């Protein structure tokens, strides 16, 4: 098949969906498919990949139409949320290409929710109130824009893929499937002089990084360090870079590659997750593959953490503090949870297996179910 993947590229922006699209493109190319990756907002002159990458500055409808008409793909794999989804899905029909909508976030499954974060930058603080957060929420929930783009799904989308099975139930299409994300297991060695707990994500509003700093402050007497890994994407969090000066057990390490993150997680006591409900965080998968339990403040994807007994879902900050302290002090429990986590991860998040499932699904979309 000739497949076009549309999303930002991890060489331009290292985010969860971008990492997954690179993984999918690489494996589909190995399977013998012709993959072209349209890198939205691409800034590189060249991309060192096994598949073709074409950077596109903006999703201009006329430019996208001409580009896709030139490529003539059998299928377009869209993983750029609902941003210009309707226009792009219509274009796919004009060039007689199949269109698969892949969801990376809970917002992708909701009708009356837009993508405000893409059209409003950070503002900062005013008299203790994060002004940006108020505007962010207003713009993120623009009902009309979200509904217009969502209308593409029943009208023009041929199939839906979700990284989380919970988001599929109300999708108004016949062909839909849940396929988990996958992450590499290779780890770059990392050493730290003290036992430590890790937090991994891009640093922005909906990841609630301030909760991890507060956790470090609350557990300053435990002899354990709290390491924050991620790229700051919200300038109001720049203070975290130097927060360790007042909080000696807190250390901001900045952005790291997936292999570096794996090395950090490999020697961590466990992962703490403070993000709002989203898609299915790669950081969960990375921690589990390294045999580490996870304590999540707000989000348990598919109920896996509690069902498989591989960590805790806290729900409140006080319980987060309590459960973090418990796991710090109870090595046997950490090891048992970590072993269960690794077993579960190896069975459910293997890249070859999951991209194989995707390949079968895409072939059904293009050729019909009779051709596998």
Q: Which band of pLDDT confidence, cut at 50, 70 and 90, is reported for residue 113?
A: confident
Residues 162 and 251 in one domain: no
Say what the pLDDT of residue 145 is.
Answer: 83
For range 67-95, the mean pLDDT: 97
Residues 337 and 359 in one domain: no
Q: How far is CA 312 from the centre of its chain?
A: 20
For range 17-26, the mean pLDDT: 97
Say what the pLDDT of residue 121 is.
Answer: 38
Residue 139 lies in a domain: yes
Residues 22 and 165 in one domain: yes
Residues 296 and 363 in one domain: no
Instruction: Tell me what percent of the residues of the chain surpass a pLDDT of 70.
Output: 91
Residue 190 lies in a domain: no
Inter-residue contact 156 to 93 (CB < 8 Å): yes
Residues 6 and 64 in one domain: yes
- Nearest-angstrom CA–CA distance, 157 and 369: 17
Residues 6+ apart with CB under 8 A from 252: 228, 240, 241, 242, 243, 244
Say what the pLDDT of residue 339 is.
Answer: 98
Q: How many domains does the chain have?
A: 2
> Is the pLDDT score of 276 beyond 70?
yes
Say what the pLDDT of residue 115 is.
Answer: 60
Q: Which band of pLDDT confidence, cut at 50, 70 and 90, is reported for residue 80?
A: very high
Residue 191 lies in a domain: no
Residue 187 lies in a domain: no
Residues 255 and 357 in one domain: no
> Is the pLDDT score of 143 beyond 60?
yes
Distances (CA, A) of 226 to 91, 190, 213: 48, 15, 8
Residues 99 and 132 in one domain: yes
**Residue 264's domain is classified under what CATH number?**
3.40.50.2000
Residues 59 and 174 in one domain: yes
Residues 151 and 260 in one domain: no
Residues 142 and 237 in one domain: no
For range 133-149, the mean pLDDT: 66
Domain that holds residue 336: 196-348
pTM of the entire predicted model? 0.88
Residue 372 lies in a domain: no
- Annotate 241-271 with b (16+ C-beta within 10 A) or e (fewer): eebbeeeebbbbbeebebebbbbbbbbbbbb
Residue 233 lies in a domain: yes
> Is the pLDDT score of 43 beyond 60?
yes
- Annotate 76-102 with b (16+ C-beta within 10 A) or e (fewer): bbbbbbbbbbbbbbebbeebebbbbbb
Inter-residue contact 304 to 310 (CB < 8 Å): yes
For range 243-249, the mean pLDDT: 97
- Nearest-angstrom CA–CA distance, 304 and 310: 8
Residue 189 lies in a domain: no
The secondary structure element, H or E, covering residue 340 is helix 331-348
Taking all residues of the chain, what is their mean pLDDT, rounded to a whole number? 92
Instruction: Read off the DSSP letter of residue 80.
Output: B
Residues 334 and 354 in one domain: no
Given phi > 0 = left and psi -120 to 50 = alpha, else beta, which region is 315?
A: left
Say what the pLDDT of residue 134 is.
Answer: 52
Look at 30-44, 141-155, 198-212, 214-228 and tell me which has the smallest mean pLDDT. 141-155
Distances (CA, A) of 28 to 88, 116, 126, 204, 359: 22, 32, 49, 32, 7
Residues 30 and 104 in one domain: yes
Residue 119 lies in a domain: yes
């Amino acid at each position: 098949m000739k497949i076009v993947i549309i999303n930002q590229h991890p060489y331009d922006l290292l985010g969860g969906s971008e990492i997954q699209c690179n993984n999918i493109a690489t494996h589909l190319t190995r399977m013998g498919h012709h993959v072209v990756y349209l890198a939205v907002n691409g800034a590189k002159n060249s991309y060192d990949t096994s598949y073709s990458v074409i950077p596109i500055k903006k999703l201009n409808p006329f430019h996208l139409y001409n580009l896709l008409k030139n490529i003539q793909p059998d299928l377009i794999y869209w993983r750029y949320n609902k941003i210009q989804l309707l226009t792009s899905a219509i274009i796919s029909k004009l060039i007689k290409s199949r269109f698969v909508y892949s969801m990376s976030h809970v917002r992708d499954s909701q009708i009356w929710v837009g993508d405000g974060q893409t059209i409003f930058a950070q503002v900062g603080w005013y008299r203790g109130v994060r002004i940006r957060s108020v505007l962010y929420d207003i713009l993120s929930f623009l009902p009309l824009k979200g509904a217009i783009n969502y209308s593409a799904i029943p009208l023009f989308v041929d199939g839906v893929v979700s990284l989380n099975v919970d988001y599929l139930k109300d999708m108004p299409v016949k062909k839909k499937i849940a396929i988990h994300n996958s992450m590499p297991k290779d780890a770059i060695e990392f050493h730290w002089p003290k036992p430590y707990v890790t937090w991994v994500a891009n640093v922005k509003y909906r990841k609630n990084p301030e909760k991890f700093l507060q956790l470090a402050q609350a557990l300053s007497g435990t002899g354990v360090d709290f390491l924050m890994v991620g790229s700051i994407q919200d300038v109001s969090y720049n203070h975290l870079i130097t927060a360790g000066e007042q909080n000696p057990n807190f250390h901001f390490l900045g952005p790291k590659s997936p292999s570096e993150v794996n090395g950090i997680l490999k020697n961590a006591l466990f992962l703490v997750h403070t993000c709002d409900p989203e898609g299915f965080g790669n950081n969960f998968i990375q921690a589990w593959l390294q045999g580490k339990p996870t304590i999540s403040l707000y989000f348990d994807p598919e109920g896996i953490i509690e069902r498989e007994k591989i960590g805790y879902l806290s729900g409140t900050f006080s319980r987060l503090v309590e459960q973090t302290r418990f796991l710090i002090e109870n090595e046997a429990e950490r090891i048992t949870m970590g072993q269960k986590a690794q077993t579960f991860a190896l069975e459910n998040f293997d890249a070859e297996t999951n991209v194989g499932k995707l390949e079968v699904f895409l072939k059904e979309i293009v050729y019909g179910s009779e051709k596998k």
